[in-house]
Amino acid sequence: MTSTVSSAISMTMSDAAEVLKGSGAAGESLEVRGVFKSFGGLKAVQDFRLSLPPAALYGLIGPNGAGKTTCFNLLTGVYRPDQGEITLGGKSLIGLRPSEIAFTGLARTFQNIRLFGELSVFENVKLACHLRTTHSLAGVILRSGWQRAEEAAIRERARALLQVFNLHDRMDESARNLPYGDQRRLEIARALATGPKVLLLDEPAAGMNPQEKKDLRKLIREVRDVFGVSILMIEHDMGVVMDLCERITVLDYGVPIAEGTPHEIQKNPKVIEAYLGKE
Amino acid sequence: MTALVIWQFLWPFGLIILVPVVLGAIGGSAWRVFWPLALALVVGVLMQHQVRTNMDAYSSKQILDVGIAIILAVSLTIVNGFTGQFSIGHAGFLAVGGYVAGSITYYGSFALFGSAGATLGTMSGLYGAKEGAAFVTGGEGLFLFALLAGGLIAALLGVVVGLPSLRLRGDYLAIVTLGFGEIVRVLIQQTPQVLMSKDAIAAAKPLSVPLSVGGSLGFGNVPKYTSLFWVYAAVVLTLIFAYRLKQSSTGRAMLSIREDEIAAEAMGVKTTYYKVWGFAIAAFFAGIAGGLYAHTIGISLSPVDAGFQKSFDIIIMVVLGGLGSISGAAIAAAIVTYLPELLRTPDTLMKFAVVGVPMLVIGGALLAMAGKPDQGPGKKRGHDPRAFPRAVIGLGVIITGLSILAFVAKRFGINLSDYRLILFALALIVMMITRPQGLLGVRELWDGALYRPLRDFFSARRAEGGAA
Ligand SMILES: Nc1ncnc2c1ncn2[C@@H]1O[C@H](COP(=O)(O)OP(=O)(O)O)[C@@H](O)[C@H]1O
Ligand SMILES: [Mg+2]
């Protein structure tokens, strides 16, 4: 692949590979089995299961309140499952703190954008590179050679990522001053900066106009191709989901009611019922 | 001539300064370790030297107060500004550092030198040592050790106070920190009388000796080592450290917690770890400031120093300066410490109008000239060509307001300094309404982004000119 004007990623494949060097985008699969979660009496998620192979692009859909975001929160350690198994590359994620899960290789975006608003675009991405640094506080105080080398590496990596996402000319702007669509893309860039194996996108197209949605489709596909990460995506826009996703899981009232290719899902009577109600 | 005098003070340090210069020349990384120390020494010596030549006793004490306030404000910035945990008991750490250091030098001097008198070297004591004093003395070594010990004990307590911040948020955490300050205050009140002689110390139970710090009677007998040298050397080191922290990946991790804790954790930031570190670092520097305060001439440590009143003063500095801004906190610390003095001299304050009124006029004119926010390249979100004129007018209003206030006060014979706290409260309210992020926000004085309003103003003007 070469860098083209029409491409959403404005960098060559080799450039991008350089950016992600040493971030461990190696092929590892995410396995979820029998995960339950209730909030008081509300059974938010019941028997959620998923098998996400390396470099896959899967979708998670369902009506509002079906428990999709809760699934993401369970995967990333914001909530602890009542029962069930979650493993990444064979390593269990149950009971780990969200920061440890991020270190293991699971990164996410948020349905209600959660950027570091006062910090600049550049700093948002630089921060996400922090988890792979190893220098100590003493290194910070003394400005040790190692600390400065790591800071330089962070700057380079963050700059390259922003170039990939075409955000580099707004690098010094406060994140909160970006237009909405750019904020969504910055969240993806920030998540990628953590060096993930699996990327969870929570309604990335929400609030975008048709042109932005079209660009986003291209962007997501290229992120998967270029960076080699697996992507699990929650999305309401069926155009985006059906176009991008190889397989789709459908949640309804916290229960996975169907799983399959977009074609299978579209024809599944249970899915139609969940979305349109019983005839 | 002055250069010669300064050299007389500096030459013994020559080696310490020369070493990093040489290292820097050969390109060693050790330069980065040593230059802050060298700068601290030079600034300290310059400040100390100024006292002997230019300043009267009163002014030098004020400059010293400003220095200590800067250390306190910058240290609180690390908790409240960087990690965003709202601590309102910071004076507790100041008191702990002060009492620990004071007790060490006071009783340590008895043990080591036989009496509690300070043995001042050239660089110690607010008004300097006597003619012919030794260049450095053992007493100063003890003082330095005591400062560090006070800082470290305060840092330990910082960890203890920081731990609840892992479970508590916002108001609840603030109440815990408030409680901490009050506990320190009450505990100090319970301490026994200061032991005034060698015999008294010998007669007392050994373990109770260091705790005999005077209770509510205060602890005024601490040897008076603190000088502009020590204070401003500490100011320089505190500022450099805080800035290095802020510029580092670790500092960004702290700032991200303040911005959005959930997102920070999701990006791999160990939020609990950094929150506790924030408390520990802030407490360390507050403890150092406390130690410097305790050894200042004319100061008698008292339990009140741990109280809410004192904590509130520090919070005002941090909030006015801009939560997260090191230079903002330092500037606000200087203003808040110096303002009461200005309020005592209404004549000086009235002269402020000379600056304030033109600022109002110029600001008004610029505002009239400024384009609308949706014109030209200022169209991007967050760009407003009117922000700069507004800032000028805002500052003008404050400065002119102060001089009008001084005029009115003089006219009716009101002593403005009696109303210091009301004025600060008012300033805080006005700030929260007009510029809630504080003077500099999260930026530093030298950040380009701080001057964006200026750029927006001129770029909008240029765009208009081009269109016409
Ligand atoms: N922390 C929580 N406490 C209580 N109820 C929750 C919590 N988080 C989510 N829920 C509930 O769980 C259900 C699923 O929510 P969510 O996962 O956000 O749905 P969606 O599929 O729209 O993302 C909703 O009924 C929501 O109210
Ligand atoms: Mg949701």
Mean pLDDT score across all residues of chain B: 86
For residue A133, what is the nearest residue in chain B, using CA coordinates? B249
Question: Do the beta carbons of residue A33 and residue A90 sit within 8 Å?
Answer: no
Mean pLDDT score across all residues of chain A: 88
Question: Which pLDDT band, with edges at 50, 70 and 90, does B23 fall under?
Answer: low
* Ligand approaching nearest to the C-alpha of A206: 2
| pLDDT tens profile B234-281 | 999 999 999 999 999 999 999 999 999 999 999 999 999 999 999 999
* pLDDT score at B378: 41
Size of interface A-B (CB pairs under 8 A): 121
| DSSP-derived pairing of the beta strands A255-260 and A198-202 | unpaired
Our CA dihedral for A262, A266, A267, A270, rounded to 10 degrees, sits at 110
The CB density around residue B218, as the number of other CB atoms within 10 Å, is 17
Which residues of chain A are within 8 Å of residue B380 when distances are taken between CB atoms?
177
What is the CA A258 to chain-centroid distance, rounded?
22
CA–CA separation, B403 and B408 (whole Å): 9
Closest CA to B106 of B227, B190, B196: B196
Q: Is residue A108 scored above 80 in pLDDT?
A: yes
Closest CB from B32, B267, B324 relative to A142: B32
| DSSP-derived pairing of the beta strands A30-39 and A106-108 | unpaired
Closest CA to B232 of B2, B431, B49: B49
Q: Within an 8 Å CB–CB cutoff, is residue B253 touching chain A?
A: yes
Question: Which pLDDT band, with edges at 50, 70 and 90, does B375 fall under?
Answer: very low
| Cβ separation A173–B382 shorter than 8 A | yes
* pLDDT score at A138: 85
Q: Is A21 left (phi over 0), alpha (psi -120 to 50) or beta?
A: beta
| pLDDT tens profile B110-127 | 889 888 888 888 788 888
Tell me what the mean pLDDT of segment B297-310 comes to.
91
Q: Which of residues 435-454 of B touch A (CB under 8 A)?
A: 437, 441-442, 448-449
| DSSP-derived pairing of the beta strands A247-252 and A255-260 | antiparallel
Distance between Cα A63 and ligand 1 center (Å): 12
Three-state SS for A171?
A: coil
Which residue has tokens 């030198």? B113
Which residues of chain A are within 8 Å of residue B255 when distances are taken between CB atoms?
116, 118-119, 123, 127
| Cβ separation B268–A177 shorter than 8 A | no
Indicate the pTM of the whole model: 0.89
Distance between Cα B175 and ligand 1 center (Å): 31
Q: Which of B248, B261, B285, B442 to mutate to test the interface with A (most CBs of A within 10 A)?
A: B248
Percentage of chain A lying above the pLDDT 70 cut: 90
Which residues of chain A are within 8 Å of residue B250 when distances are taken between CB atoms?
130, 137, 140
| Cβ separation A99–B269 shorter than 8 A | yes
Residue ID of nearest Cα to ligand 1 atom 27: A65
* pLDDT score at A272: 85
Please state the φ and ψ torsions of residue B8, each to the nearest 5 degrees.
-60, -35
The CB density around residue B419, as the number of other CB atoms within 10 Å, is 15
Q: Is residue A1 scored above 80 in pLDDT?
A: no
Q: Is residue B74 scored above 50 in pLDDT?
A: yes
| Cβ separation B267–A194 shorter than 8 A | yes
How far apart are the CA of B269 and the nearest CA of chain A, in angstroms? 6
Element (H, E) at A71: helix A68-75
What does A20-77 look like in DSSP terms, one character per residue? TTTS------EEEEEEEEEETTEEEEEEEEEEE-TT-EEEEE-STTSSHHHHHHHHTT
DSSP bridge pairs for A231: A57, A199
DSSP bridge pairs for A106: A198
ipTM of the complex in this document: 0.91
Question: Do the beta carbons of residue A192 and residue A225 sit within 8 Å?
Answer: no
| pLDDT tens profile A190-221 | 999 999 999 999 999 988 889 999 999 999 99
CA–CA separation, A201 and A235 (whole Å): 8
Q: Is residue A152 scored above 90 in pLDDT?
A: yes
* pLDDT score at A5: 37
Residue ID of nearest Cα to ligand 1 atom 1: A39
CA–CA separation, B183 and B179 (whole Å): 6
Residue ID of nearest Cα to ligand 1 atom 17: A67
Question: Which pLDDT band, with edges at 50, 70 and 90, does B461 fall under?
Answer: low
Closest CA to B84 of B305, B262, B334, B286: B262
> Which stretches within A197-252 are classed as H helix?
210-227, 238-244
| pLDDT tens profile B79-103 | 999 999 989 999 999 999 999 999 9
What does B61-84 look like in DSSP terms, one character per residue? HHHHHHHHHHHHHHHHIIIIIII-
Q: Within an 8 Å CB–CB cutoff, is residue B271 touching chain A?
A: yes
CA–CA separation, B421 and B308 (whole Å): 13
Using the Cα atoms of residue A168, residue A170, residue A175 and residue A181 in order, give the sign of their dihedral: negative
* pLDDT score at B462: 65
* pLDDT score at B198: 87
| pLDDT tens profile B227-240 | 999 999 999 999 99
Q: Is residue B129 scored above 50 in pLDDT?
A: yes
| Cβ separation B382–A176 shorter than 8 A | yes
How far apart are the CA of A148 and the nearest CA of chain B, in angstroms? 9
Q: Is residue A6 scored above 50 in pLDDT?
A: no
Cα-based distances in Å from A62 to A65, A208, A221: 8, 19, 22
Which residues of chain A are within 8 Å of residue B452 when distances are taken between CB atoms?
none
* pLDDT score at B172: 87
Classify residue A202 by burial, with Cβ atoms within 10 Å: 0-12, 13-18, 19+: buried
CA–CA separation, A114 and B260 (whole Å): 7
Closest CB from B268, B270, B277 relative to A194: B268
Tell me what the mean pLDDT of segment B124-131 comes to.
80
